[in-house]
Amino acid sequence: MDRFVIVSGCSGGGKSTLLAELGRRGYAVVEEPGRRIVQEELKGGGAALPWIDAVAFARRALALALADRRAAAAREGWVFFDRGLIDAAVNLQQLTGEPVLTALARDHRYHRRVFLLPAWPEIYATDAERRHGIDAADAEYARLLAAYPALGYEVAVLPKVGVVERADIVLRTLAEGTG
């Protein structure tokens, strides 16, 4: 859908903070599937965690991203996704070699402009839910930076500036693209 906008990129690059700012401005926001899965698995003692069973985690992220898209169809206006279906498919395909990415990307389109946030070592932090280091985050970012254009998306890499300025850039870019 042309009003579904992906905000993706490097883990710890400020995606969730940016999405929170867009939410404060009244826009619909869909939280990152991976964080929700990790929280649920940690709470329930599950194993579908990226550091225990990465494939099970990736499959759950894909299913949750599909459910998020269906649920978002009822929302009006711009809907901003903290990661989403393409990210989950890139991860699953990288882990298993299963050719899921192209078909999913063809059947479930987002806005043509995707916003990627690069690595930002000064703000990167691990926690109970993000246990991988910045090197793994950089590798993930490189895969996404290659995948989105290969699927026909226009990538806008956001600068390392404050969250208010980043949100302004996103909204201005989208407004300019509709004229």
The CATH code of the domain at 4-177 is: 3.40.50.300
* Of 1-10, 45-54, 147-156, highest mean pLDDT: 147-156
Q: How far apart are CA 90 and CA 148, in angstroms?
A: 9
Ranges of beta strands (E only) in the chain are 4-9, 28-30, 79-82, 113-117, 154-157
Q: And the tokens for 92? A: 């699953």
Q: And the tokens for 76? A: 């009006």
- Taking only the tens place, the pLDDT of each residue in 62-80 is 999 999 999 999 999 999 9
- The long-range contacts involving 102-105, CB below 8 angstroms and separated by at least 24 positions, are 102/151, 104/62, 105/151
What global pTM score does this model have? Answer: 0.88
